[in-house]
Amino acid sequence: MDAAFTVSLLGLALVLLSCPDDASLNRVFANTSGAVYPGSGFVEEALQRAIELTDAAYARTSERVKKSVSEGALRPSDLLAQFKQTEAKTSAQIRAAELLDNTVELIREMVYTHTMVQPDHQALLSERDMENLQQVTGCSAELQRPSCDTDCLSERYRSITGECNNRHNPRWGAANIPYSRWLPAEYEDLWGMPRGWDPQHTYHNASLPPVRLVSQEVLFTHNDNISLDSTLSHLLVEWGQWIDHDVVLTPQSPSRSSFRTGADCTHTCSRDTPCFPIQIPLSDPRSGFQSCMPFFRSAPSCVAGVPTHRRREQLNAITSFVDASMVYGSSTSLASTLRNRSSPLGLMTLNSQHSDRDLAYMPYLPRRQAHLDPCGPRSSLTSRASEKSRQQENTTSCFQAGDSRANEHLGMIALHTLFLREHNRLVKELHLINPRWSPDTLYQEARKIMGAVHQILTWEHYLPRVLGEGAMSRLMPPYEGYDPEVDPSIANVFAAAAFRFAHVTVQPVVTRLGPGYTTNSQHPQLPLHHSLFASWRVVQEGGIDPVLRGLLLSPAKLQTPGQMMVEELTERLFQAQGGMPLDLGALNLQRGRDHGLPGYGSWRRSCSLSVPNTTSELAEILTNFTLAHKLQLLYGTPHNIDVWVGAISEPALPGGRVGPLLSCLLARQFRALRDGDRFWWEREGVFTGPQRRHLHGVSLSRIICDNSHITHVPADPFSRTERPEDMLPCSHPLISHLDLRPWKEPDSYPDCGLIPRVQSGYSLLCDSVVLYQCHSGFELLGSSSVSCDPNSRQWSPSAPTCQDIDECKNLTSVCPQHLECFNTQGSFICSEPSSPSVVSVVTAVVVVTGGVAALLMIVFCYRRYFPKKEDLVNAECCQGKS
């Protein structure tokens, strides 16, 4: 029996055992309200069948991927899935939600089969039925409210998972919650069927066009038919995706097989959840080779609220906050894995096999399959020796980071590597300033600074260039403080449409440059599709410096109505990885339909913008009649236009790179991320005044200088630099350092004087409390904290001490059986038991013999010069007698 199926049945059995009256599902789902619910009688059968189908689909997917891997035949869709691996908690919620959805779908089918009437979605099951189903499937456990600490550290540092940022709504902005909705979802039915699922279904009296047709007719741009941005660098484009990976991760269903039929989604062109294939039109150049392009629905989320009114919602697997989670992770288990726990400095783990001269790389991911290195070279003639070495080390060429998409392309790898190095640089500097801080404190303080750096670079430098100064000042007013009523959770339209705008500003080539920003034959330009999942190139082709130089000197692509998305993305996505390439434009459009996003007109209305009803009105908004006419022919009405393609078609506002609709949607999300974040860098108490002043001058160019071999950088890395001669040396005053002296902890506290410290231990002043922790190998004796009593003006209780742990006295031996344990200060040594040598035996005999001789000599002298008392008495007697 399948292990997952066994676990499912075990969970079901536990729920049944918890029912005091009866151990049957019929009793669990009994309807006590008196109302008749047609689905109640099918719950037991449907649930058991759903468990079988769900687990079978997961198992089939696993077997198929293993087979593909062993044959070295991973498809592009498999690679995408490989690099959207989710953490255990995310996987648990996805399985619970899919099991619940599949159960309800089966109940609907069973009711229809018996009654030949489509059931009313609100009258299918009782509220008690749904509550019990949520409990049995595991959704109830996933929706439990987290408990929040109230100590000093919980006020000082954000949690890794994002939980408890908002004290009243602790799941707001946390990892593994549904995306929020600014407008109700518009699915094809009341249950969550995607828009366009039925090609004949009409909206506003018109059916939706195939997304691939929209991509071909509206988006497709030849690689050599692009205009370059005159003011912005390609690093700004890269930063947008970098921040996207900080706030958005939409996992797909783990199944690549239909739940109902078992059909392989990578081969079938039938729509059957989770398969939602993209149809290839007859006019498409691909039509002779394939009928459809694989596409998998986003995984559902467990949803709180009234269960009978639930609709499919998608899951954000990472924290919503701009907190550098792509560096540190959004789960405690991943965050721990990424840390170097043996370091006393709070360092992140580094690559043990390779380095970029004296600078570090990210660690490699462990090898899951013996025959596959997803990030290695595709050519069998390339790097066979290094591949053999990685096999022996049981690793791949794929890097491990806080986000599973780190290996997507070279620019993303460069930024991941850069900020990994920056974290380790920060903790080393902080340690010099505060040698009494523990590894945990150093890690958390550096993480806190890194989060602030990302917020400042995004709000102060990135967003004004995207929105334009006018829209920025109008839509993003000055910060007024934390507002606990603002939900910072990422909105579905932001994740699935709005923040994908930068795809139309991506260059078709990856420029790599040598020292002095010159072209170099060792690392030439690459077609974009050759840089995808090509992590091996970083180690073998010059490190991250050539990629960073290319991002700094190359301009962004300018988006115009006739130059939307380069063919590298629409025709060659993952082509280098084998199999039929994908189309990023079509994927974006299909994702919006999968998520039930309303059409373009609805979003214009929500932003208080005019809503076009005719081609001429649309042309007036787009300032381009040709494009408006093309969209009208495809969609039949402006109301049906997919929000993503409609939004990117609008002309940019003055000084910005997006139109009115995108400005509205982006500004609304980023304002919520700012105002709803309890740890926003400008909030009073998060940093001190001097710390904020120093942070405000943070420079991405400085971070590049400090963590690469690049010696010349632009003063503003997001602005286009025309010539290498315009770069500034890293020593230039405009490339300012972040001065960490304001982070030095004081030696005294105003009310209670000198802060009590401990030998062989760490301490941290947190408000009016001093927290203590011992070095490794020592145990704390006394209280782990002392507080300043404002009345007595004394620290209370007394400071603890750190006592050496004698590991050798433990009942369970810390050394192997054949070794002897010797305790040392803060540690211990395991060594061979001492056995007497010839020299040591001779030495011992000499010492003993010499000792005996000395003792005899002392006795002789004593007897000679200090006669016994009785001898003296006898001598006196003799003298008297004589």
CB of 736 closer than 8 Å to CB of 750:
no
416 noted as active-site residue: no
CA distance 666 to 31: 46
CB of 445 closer than 8 Å to CB of 322:
no
CA distance 704 to 698: 12
CA distances from 807 to 97, 736, 813, 820, 831 (A): 48, 49, 8, 12, 14
CA distance 854 to 848: 10
Strand stretches in 560-707, DSSP E: 565-566
CA distances from 626 to 152, 207, 503 (A): 61, 21, 22
Q: What's the gap between Cα 692 and its chain centre? A: 26
Q: Which amino acid is at 546?
A: P
Question: Which string of b and e fits 552-573 if b means at least 16 CB within 10 Å?
Answer: bbbbbbbbebebbbbbbbbbbb
HEC letters along 710-737: CCEECCCCCECCCCHHHCEECCCCCCCC
Contacts of 730 (CB under 8 A, 6+ apart): 702, 705, 710, 711, 712, 713
Helix axes 43-70, 127-137, angle to 10 degrees: 30
CA distance 622 to 31: 56
CA distance 748 to 741: 16
Q: What is the DSSP string of 29-49?
A: T---SS---TTGGGHHHHHHH
Sheet of strand 785-789, all strands in order from the earlier edge strand to the far edge: 761-766, 769-774, 785-789, 794-796
Which of these, 634, 644, 568, 631, lies nearest to 600 by C-alpha position? 644
Which of these, 603, 618, 619, 611, lies nearest to 666 by C-alpha position? 603
Query: Helix, strand, coil proportions of the chain in percent (round to 5)?
Result: 45, 15, 45
Cα atoms in the 13 Å half-sphere on the side-chain side of 753: 6
503 annotated as a binding-site residue: yes
CB of 552 closer than 8 Å to CB of 720:
no
Q: Which amino acid is at 227?
A: S
Residue with tokens 């380095």: 355
CA distance 730 to 711: 6
| Tokens, residue 187 | 């699915």
Q: Return the SS3 of 230.
A: strand
CA distance 655 to 463: 11
Contacts of 474 (CB under 8 A, 6+ apart): none
Q: Catalytic one among 245, 416, 595, 694? A: 245
Annotated catalytic residues are: 245
Task: Give the residue numbers of the binding site for heme b.
Answer: 503
